[in-house]
Amino acid sequence: MESLNVAFGHRLWWVDAFIGEGERGNPAVVVLLERPMEDHDLQQIAFELGVSETAFVRRIGDGWSLRWFTPSVEVDLCGHATLATLHVLLNELGVPGGELFFQTRSGVLSGRRLNDGLLGVDLPRAYVEPVDPGVLGNTLGPLQEAYQAGASSVLAVVRDYETLCGLSVDTLGLFLVPSSLVIAVCEGGPGVDVAIRVFAPRLGLAEDPVTGSAMCAVAPWWADRTGAPTLSVRQASARGGVMHARLFEKNVEVAGLTRTFFGGDLRA
C-alpha cells in the first residue's frame, strides 16, 4: 500500500461567468497550479478541456500569477476567465476577501466582491479612434461606424439590436481583419444599454459567448457617445450573458454573476 499513488495533481473548476436570467454565460476552466508547468503542457491541457479559455492560476507571494489559453493559443487578456478565477479563489478556496491581485501578460489586474452577488475585475482601458468601416470589408454587412480600440480590437457599430442578431458573418473574411477581436455593437437591447457580439477567428474562436475584455473598448465608446461612465451590456450569443461596466481613467471595472458548474482534479 505504501507504493500506491494517491496524488491527484492540480485542482480545477468549471465556472460559468456573466450569467443571468436565461443567460448561461461563458464557461472557463480554472486550474490551480501547485507547481510551475511548461508552456506546451499548459497549451495541451487547454486543448483537451476545449473551452474558450482555460485560466491557470498559481500563488506568487501575496498575489497570484494568472495566464489564459484558448484551445490553440495563449492570449494577453481574458475577462470572463479572470472573473471565473476570482470566483474560485473567493467562493471555492475561501481566500480572504478584499482586493486580490493577479500578475498577467496585461500587467497587474485586481478583483473584488461587489454588491448583490456581483464580482468585479479591473481590466485595462482601451482608447478608441474612428477608422474607415471599409477596414472590415463586407464581413458583417452594412456598418454605421467603426473604431480601432487599442492594438488588438475593432469596434463595428450596427444600426439596432435586430440588425446585430441577424448579422451575416463572413468568418473567413474576419480572419483577414488585422485584429484579435471584432466587436459588433449597437445601442439598446433587452433590458440593457448596449448589446454586442464578438468574433475572434484569429484566436480560434468563431464567436465568443460572452467577452469581458470587450468592455475595455465598449465602455470608452459608450462614455464618448453618451457621457455616461457606467453601462449594462447583453452579449447576444447562443449562450447569452450580461455584464456591467464602470469606466475609470486607466481601467474598466467589469462585473457579473458567476457559478461553479463542477470541480475536480487534473491528472496531469
> Domain map of the chain by residue range?
10-123+255-266, 128-250
Q: Are 238 and 222 in contact (CB under 8 A)?
A: no
Secondary structure class of 32 (helix, strand, coil) = strand
* Cβ atoms of residues 111 and 102 within 8 Å: yes
Task: State the distance between the two ends of the chain, measured CA to CA, in whole angstroms.
Answer: 22
Helix/strand/coil for 99: coil
Q: Which DSSP category does 241 fall into?
A: E
Question: 241 vs 45, 100, 101, 151, 162, CA distance in Å?
Answer: 26, 24, 25, 25, 17
Contact (Cβ atoms closer than 8 angstroms) between residue 45 and residue 264: no
How far is it, in rounded angstroms, from Cα 247 to Cα 103? 21
CATH architecture assignment, domain 10-123+255-266: Roll (3.10)
CATH 3.10.310.10 fits 128-250, yes or no: yes
What are the CA-CA distances from residue 69 to residues 80, 148, 160, 180, 206 (Å)? Answer: 12, 24, 33, 14, 16
Mark whether 249 is an active-site residue.
no
Residues for the chain: how many in total?
268
Distance CA 21, CA 132 (A): 37
Give me the residue label for grid cell 454573476: 257
pTM of the model: 0.93
Return per-residue pLDDT of the chain as tens, 268 residues.
343 333 446 899 999 999 999 899 999 999 999 888 999 999 999 999 999 999 999 999 889 999 999 999 999 999 999 999 999 999 999 998 789 999 999 999 999 999 999 999 999 999 999 999 999 989 999 999 999 998 889 999 999 999 999 998 998 899 888 888 999 999 999 999 999 999 998 888 889 999 999 999 999 999 999 999 999 999 999 999 999 999 999 999 999 999 999 999 987 6
What is the structure's pLDDT at 178? 84
Model pLDDT, residue 268: 64
Cα gap 221→160, rounded to integer Å: 16
Catalytic residue among 2, 21, 38, 53: 53
